[in-house]
Structure 1
Amino acid sequence: MEGTMSESSAPRFRVLMFPWLAHGHISPYLELSKRLSENNFHICFCSTEINLNFIKKSKTFDEISSIELVQLDLPDLPELPPQHHTTRNLPLHLKSTLERAFYMGKANFQNILSTLKPDLLIYDAPQSWISELAALNHIPSVLFIIVAAVNLSFFYHAVNCGIDGTNEAYPFPAIYYRDYETKKMIAMSQESKESLPEDAAFSPKCFELSSFVLVKSWREIEGKYIDHFSFSCGKKVLALNLLNVQDDDTKEEENNSHIMKFLNGKDESSVIYLSFGSEYYLSKEEREEIAHGLELSNANFIWVLRFPVGDSIALEEALPEGFLERVKERGIVVDGWAPQAKILEHPSTGGFLSHCGWGSVTESMYFGVPLLALPMFYDQFLQARLAEDIGVGIEILRGENGQTNREEVAKAIKMVALENEVGELLREKARELSNQMRGGGEGVLHEAIKKLKDLCSKNK
């Protein structure tokens, strides 16, 4: 019957999009919203006021023909005022407080479900009460994951076989945690368990009520991990080839014209771009080791440094004494923001020194730029291993306790930017992968849209 209807006479389904309160999650959810809107879905996009204000300014928001912004109110905790109801610029020590406040917004989300009565919920926030509330309201739900599938594949293996895999080896030996990473992950998990109720913690329950699973990935990159994850969780998993490059704020562009001028004056593939995302702030020790590593490497670079709101430091104070003067001919340090997509697509950019957030990893791959991986926490560790395993990156080795080392930073930069053979091999593989990522992918999106429409139809 659906095939005989015109698009205008087909039923318009209401989809409630509910990402976690991080911009790295919101951006791909907006991109998926845009695709669904183009296919006759009405989008209700739920987040906190500060995130909704950010969404209104995004270019993607302007491109979505049918979107309704829905505000989720969180309790006003003394240590977490409304401007901190987002992970952007959130001091690290308030992360667990935000997770707790998010859980305390459960009743308000129940009211949203009761009022909107959507045909479908698409969610990713890693707290199992979300899909449970949808089920209680007879609303089907679909999990859309915005980190690499390798994380979920490894997660299910850890759940089934113990975190160190002693009962059964993980089938892909290139993917593993180092000892200091395992300790860090266990400590973070323990902190969440102590501050949050059971239904607010990340667990297999987050997947159980999802009709199927969408993941922001490419089969060309993660085919075997997607299949392993699907087998482990017993769900159909569809990889959506959605790239959400960082929006270029036109107001900021004028202030960053010197960056493009700098790139225009450098040789092809000779500049290393450094950025650690919008949610991680380098410690004083990390800043100093990276700065000294850049000096030792003698390579050209553009380094984006960010500081938490209220804790901003002048660049001269944040970096080793005299550093900016010594590197002024071959390096730029930017405070806060830079046009990442434009930098990565510039022919002078030869490497991306990154924390390996999945958005940054996929952008780097898409633009054919090798990764210099310096993961900090969460999904980043395994995404760094993945980039190295598929031949588009090298990992900067740390000390036994996870400390950043200037010599290792310099060594990796030299390998990519100055030693032609290694760097060229990485760039060749990165370009090859870039071509694969740019071709096709619409078939999976169409399959996902059909499955989503079928779910909504059954719910009518």
Structure 2
Amino acid sequence: MEDQITLLMVPFPSHGHLNPLLHLSHLMIFSYNIPIHFISTHTHQPKIHIHGYGSISSTNKIHFHDFQLPSLPLLEASTHLRQPIYNLLIKLAKNFRRIIVIHDLIMSNVVQDFKLLSNVETYVFNPISAFTYFLGVWESIPKEMKPFELDLNDVLECSIPSSKGCVTPDVLEFTMNQYKYLGSESGWVYNTSRILEGKYVHLLEMLSSRRLGVKHFAFGPFNPVEFKGQLLLDHSADNSEENRHECLKWLDEQEKDSVIYIAFGSTTSLKNDQIQELANGLERSMEKFLWVMHEVEENSKIKRFHDLEKFEERVKGRGIIVRDWAPQLEILAHSSIGGFISHCGWNSCIESISMGVPIVAWPIQYDQPRNATLICGVLKVGMMVRDWEHHEQLVMSNTIEKVVKMLMKSKEGNEMRQRSAMLGEILRGSIGEGGVSSVEREAFFAHINR
């Protein structure tokens, strides 16, 4: 044991932040059979197994450390993990030659005590796109202190949405506070590929070039990718027929590229009047759809699903609503899916790109508006449902009907689907042997195992 290294994954304790580091855990086990320790909580630990983030064999190789969070708002509650994690690091430090901590950017405060142990080094996991993160960092640097000249218009080739209205003051304050605890990390890890965002990863490398030894590794997508039914990385959930979700069986009966998938993530909810407009737009479009609606916890109360019983009766046979968790990766990989109406959280973006599915971008908050710009303005594998400048306005049913028809039935939509399929194929190839992301993953492992 003394000659080994181990990875300790420290995600922020919410579904969207747990997910990519769980995928990365399975990837590292599958590729290198490296011991993984994973910080989880009483709330999220059961979901890890129920939702099947990876194969049973690789999940059993992950050592989950289940900590109790106090009954406080999640941002504040997460800071209480600092002492339990340090206690865990002390134990691990006695049994391993080196401990590699990969922690979410907004958990920097929680892992700050790693510096007290000589055989621990940390890598910051950036949970958003390199594009969005670079813009935020660049804009935060005063003009007279920018380390090099850069014309953003030349770099981006598209307009940048304002960050106004993206985050609440408390979230912004918490996030900015995390930067106080950076500076001693050995590197950064991104769930992206240089094929997609190489330009922006390189710019981030240039910004940190004065700090010797800090390395940037982009070897995504971390999620398993499926092509013609064959997994390029065999660490997916059990796909046996009896364990398949009912919505997948419904998709089996639909024609290729005939269904539009709608989902807004696990922490985003639409207001009731917007849900009604979306329902009306889908109904009027006459297109087939699969709509996944989550219950979203809001201010310690459960926001219940909107009553759409009459709507479901009218669209019976043409569309279905799933009112719970659904296997998004398998849905996106299904041949009948021809488009994805998404809030453009980065997990959903990278998953959709890797499966070759074009996106109707409907950003709500956080990093989503700029992720949507990357998707639509840079990569050109999506179309906006409306500009971010009008994000406070209700998106009317006629607008939704128009954009759904455009994606699913127009020449422009078909060309976008072809571009998405091509980019997805290239991205999937990047994680195969000799691919860009595979080479970078090998470089990361060689670096931490030096």
TM-score calculated relative to the size of structure 1: 0.80
SS of alignment partner, residue 50 of structure 1: coil
2:448 corresponds to 1:452: yes
Q: In structure 2, what is the equivalent of residue 91 of structure 1?
A: none
Runs of 4+ in 1 over 6 A off after TM superposition: 249-255
Q: 1:255 to 1:120 in 2, by over 3 A?
A: closer
Alignment of 1:322-401 (within 5 A): 322-388=310-376, 389-398=378-387, 400-401=390-391
Q: In structure 2, what is the equivalent of residue 170 of structure 1?
A: 152
**CA displacement at 1:169 relative to structure 2:** 5.4
Q: 1:34 to 1:266 in 2, by over 3 A?
A: closer
Alignment of 1:95-106 (within 5 A): 97-106=73-82
Q: In structure 1, what is the equivalent of residue 393 of structure 2?
A: 403
Letter in 2 for 1:126: I
Unaligned runs of 5+ in 2: 226-235, 430-434
**CA displacement at 1:134 relative to structure 2:** 1.1
Q: In structure 1, what is the equivalent of residue 231 of structure 2?
A: none
Alignment of 1:220-235 (within 5 A): 220-234=195-209, 235=214
Q: In structure 2, what is the equivalent of residue 120 of structure 1?
A: 100
Cα shift readout 1:255-292 (whole Å, capped 9, x = no counterpart): 843x3454344333221110111121222122112112
Unaligned runs of 5+ in 1: 1-8, 81-96, 455-460
**What CA distance in whole angstroms lies between the structure 2 residues aligned with 1:64 and 1:345?**
22
Letter in 2 for 1:428: Q
Alignment of 1:112-191 (within 5 A): 112-117=88-93, 119-138=99-118, 139-161=120-142, 170-171=152-153, 172-174=155-157, 177-179=160-162, 182-185=163-166, 188=168, 190-191=169-170
Q: 1:302 to 1:146 in 2, by over 3 A?
A: same
Given that 1:12 and 1:40 are in contact with CA atoms closer than 8 Å, whether structure 2 keeps it comes out as no
**What CA distance in whole angstroms lies between the structure 2 residues aligned with 1:233 and 1:175?**
25
**What CA distance in whole angstroms lies between the structure 1 residues aligned with 2:350 and 2:286?**
27
**What CA distance in whole angstroms lies between the structure 1 residues aligned with 2:75 and 2:206?**
30
Given that 1:43 and 1:68 are in contact with CA atoms closer than 8 Å, whether structure 2 keeps it comes out as yes
Given that 2:290 and 2:321 are in contact with CA atoms closer than 8 Å, whether structure 1 keeps it comes out as yes
387-396 or 108-117, which moves further after superposition? Answer: 108-117
**CA displacement at 1:205 relative to structure 2:** 3.9
Alignment of 1:79-118 (within 5 A): 80=72, 97-117=73-93
**What CA distance in whole angstroms lies between the structure 1 residues aligned with 2:440 and 2:150?**
32
Identical columns (%): 28
Q: 1:378 to 1:253 in 2, by over 3 A?
A: farther
Cα RMSD after superposing both structures: 3.0
**What CA distance in whole angstroms lies between the structure 2 residues aligned with 1:47 and 1:232?**
33
Given that 1:274 and 1:352 are in contact with CA atoms closer than 8 Å, whether structure 2 keeps it comes out as yes
SS of alignment partner, residue 214 of structure 1: strand
Alignment of 1:220-299 (within 5 A): 220-234=195-209, 235-244=214-223, 256-257=245-246, 259-299=247-287
**CA displacement at 1:27 relative to structure 2:** 2.7
Given that 1:44 and 1:68 are in contact with CA atoms closer than 8 Å, whether structure 2 keeps it comes out as yes
**What CA distance in whole angstroms lies between the structure 1 residues aligned with 2:43 and 2:177?**
24
**What CA distance in whole angstroms lies between the structure 2 residues aligned with 1:176 and 1:110?**
44
**What CA distance in whole angstroms lies between the structure 2 residues aligned with 1:254 and 1:10?**
40
Q: In structure 1, what is the equivalent of residue 37 of structure 2?
A: 44
Letter in 2 for 1:346: H
Letter in 1 for 2:101: L
Cα shift readout 1:72-112 (whole Å, capped 9, x = no counterpart): 333x33xx4xxxxxxxxxxxxxxxx1110111332232222
SS of alignment partner, residue 325 of structure 2: coil
Cα shift readout 1:215-266 (whole Å, capped 9, x = no counterpart): 1101111111111122123342111123325976879976843x34543443
Given that 2:55 and 2:238 are in contact with CA atoms closer than 8 Å, whether structure 1 keeps it comes out as no
Q: 1:61 to 1:448 in 2, by over 3 A?
A: farther
Alignment of 1:52-71 (within 5 A): 52-57=45-50, 58=52, 59-60=54-55, 62-63=57-58, 66-71=61-66
Q: 1:35 to 1:342 in 2, by over 3 A?
A: closer
The number of equivalent residue pairs is 411
Given that 1:72 and 1:109 are in contact with CA atoms closer than 8 Å, whether structure 2 keeps it comes out as no
SS of alignment partner, residue 435 of structure 1: helix
Q: 1:270 to 1:157 in 2, by over 3 A?
A: same
Cα shift readout 1:14-53 (whole Å, capped 9, x = no counterpart): 2221111122322322232234335253222122233233
**What CA distance in whole angstroms lies between the structure 1 residues aligned with 2:440 and 2:359?**
27
SS of alignment partner, residue 357 of structure 2: coil
**What CA distance in whole angstroms lies between the structure 2 residues aligned with 1:67 and 1:329?**
41
**CA displacement at 1:449 relative to structure 2:** 0.2
